[in-house]
Each structure stands twice: as structure tokens, then as C-alpha cells.
Structure 1
């Protein structure tokens, strides 16, 4: 599903505006520096959380998020420390937002953040809703309100602006399964 999220955001924001570490970091580049800089400078980071995200473990049985050098943990912590907007995106119908007590202290704040859900049962609608919400956040407007959940935003011309979104992940299957979307300021 993470690839579908990536494609939906690429389609909405422009493929040249999307950064995905496996595709965008050139060979020989200092990926650690690039990932830290991206996370520190982002305006919005969407943390994609699937059913196995919280409990993913390495070959040694240690939970990956508990490793101080885990790239997903480091990127989220960096964005939170920088004061960037971090949006948990729950993938699937049953994925729950992790409790703060289940997260490392430096990213426990993730558990208090309002999330978006991309359900598998209504995937096209969920992807559209996510794309709309990210676009609204990047435009500094309120995200669209679903019918029956408040008032809809007033219709009017969209402000003209250039938007940049970045999706970063990593080289391992674990990190690739937990991609994040960030926007450079």
C-alpha cells in the first residue's frame, strides 16, 4: 500500500517534487546527511503506519524502533524536534495509532497527533482524501471536512504556489515498508 500512497502523492504534487530515498538519493551520496536534513527541514511529514509497523523486528529479535540508530525513529524524532507538522497515516482498516507508552520516548509525541487513515476497503477514496489533506496542509488551509463531520471549507480560488513533497524511506524492507512523506520548507 505504501507504493500506492507514493503514487497518489506523486500524481497530485508532481513526480519531480517527490523525494524517495531509494530513487532520489544518488549513488555515493551521504544518505545519512540527506535524510537528517530532509527531516529537519520538512514542513509536513506523513508517517505511514501499517499493521506491523510498531512490532517490526530485526534478525536478532530486537524491535527496530527500539534501536537508537533506526532511521525511521531518527527521522520522526528530527521532524518533531524541529517543530514540523507530523501526521500519522494509518494504513488499512484495523491499524491503530500506537500508544505513547509503546513508543521510544523521543517519538512518543506521535501518539498524541491527529491521524489520517487510508483504508484498504475504500483505497481509492482514502488515497484521494490523503492527497487532499496533504495538499491542504501544504497550502496552509484547513483540510477538507467529510460530509457529516463539520462544515466544509468555503469555496474559492486556490492560491497559486509551488509545492514540494518528499517521501523518504530506506534501503531495508523494514524502512521501505514505513515510508514517510515530508515537504521541504
Structure 2
């Protein structure tokens, strides 16, 4: 069962999600992390797999790169909001009350409530963490320590204690 779900936009933030996934796997083990492109087996209905993983996960890490909010607004303007899995995953997690930690990549500003659509506005109030290519080790250490703390509050044993 995955405890940590990686949410990211494939068009812009997949590289950071893949790196974060690799580091998280070293720290917590592959079974504890869900990243769609790695976790869903061929021939499986990805829609069901994603929705199921969101329901099972305790924490959603929302990878937010530069221009993330502008892309969301553009989807709204074009009427494409319903086609964005990254957005649907977050909206579902918000409805379910799942813990969401925005992970801001290099250059990404804090989320602003008025820049987000109604179903995602709450994200602007969620405490975020940074994951910057200039500080990968320190930023990942902070992310992993916060995850260890959160998971331990649910009495979930975590994987490799030695870290990456």
C-alpha cells in the first residue's frame, strides 16, 4: 500500500518528480511511494489505479514548478480542467481530507489563493516545502524528516532509516 503519492504535471515537472521518487524509494521503499508512470503495471486501467492510490495514501506531495498556477488558469480558460489528472488528483485529495504538502521547485513562488480555481484554493494555505536543484540534499532531508514525522503519527513504520 502506498503511503506517499507523488502528484505532478507531466508536461513540466516530471523530471523533479522522478528524482524525488528515486530518493523517496531509497528512504521509504518502493511499495510506500506511488508515482503513476512507475507504479501502474501495463494493462491496468490507470484511472482506477490512480484513484485507488489517492484513497490509500496518507500524504500527497504536490510537485509545483514555475508557472504551475498559470497552467491551471489556462486549463480553466480553455475548458480543459476536467482533463488534467494532476488537478483531479489534488481536488480528490482535498475532498478526502488527505494531507497535501506542496513541494515548490526552484523558482516556483508560493501559491496564491486568488490565482487558483475554486477546487484548489485551499492549497494556498497549506505549508509547503522546497525542492531546489541547488540544495537537493538539504531539501530532501527536510522533506523526508517531515514525512517520517507524519507517518509516525499514524504508527506507520518507515523503510530505510539510513536515507539516500
Same fold by TM-score, threshold 0.5 exceeded?
yes
Cα pair 2:131 2:139 within 8 Å, conserved: yes
Indicate the residue corresponding to 1:91 in structure 2.
105
Flag as ranges the 4+ runs of structure 1 deviating above 4 A: none
Instruction: Give yes or no for the alignment of 1:116 onto 2:129.
Output: yes
Indicate the residue corresponding to 2:22 in structure 1.
7
Indicate the residue corresponding to 1:138 in structure 2.
151
1:16 counterpart (21, 25, 31) = 31
Q: CA RMSD in A?
A: 2.3
State which structure, 1 or 2, has the greater radius of gyration over its C-alpha atoms: 1
Instruction: Give yes or no for the alignment of 1:74 onto 2:88.
Output: yes
Deviation at 1:163, TM superposition (A): 4.2
Cα pair 2:62 2:102 within 8 Å, conserved: yes
Indicate the residue corresponding to 2:8 in structure 1.
none
SS in 1 for 2:133: coil
Instruction: Give yes or no for the alignment of 1:162 onto 2:157.
Output: yes
Cα pair 2:59 2:99 within 8 Å, conserved: yes
Structure with a larger share of its residues in helix: 2
In the alignment, structure 1 segments of 5+ residues that lack a partner are 142-158, 165-185
Point out which structure has higher relative CO (alpha carbons under 8 A, 6+ apart). Answer: 1
In the alignment, structure 2 segments of 5+ residues that lack a partner are 1-15, 160-164
Instruction: Give yes or no for the alignment of 1:43 onto 2:38.
Output: no
Cα pair 2:60 2:98 within 8 Å, conserved: yes
- Map residues 49-68 of structure 1 onto 2, 5 A cutoff: 49-56=64-71, 63-64=74-75, 67-68=81-82
Deviation at 1:95, TM superposition (A): 1.4
Indicate the residue corresponding to 1:153 in structure 2.
none
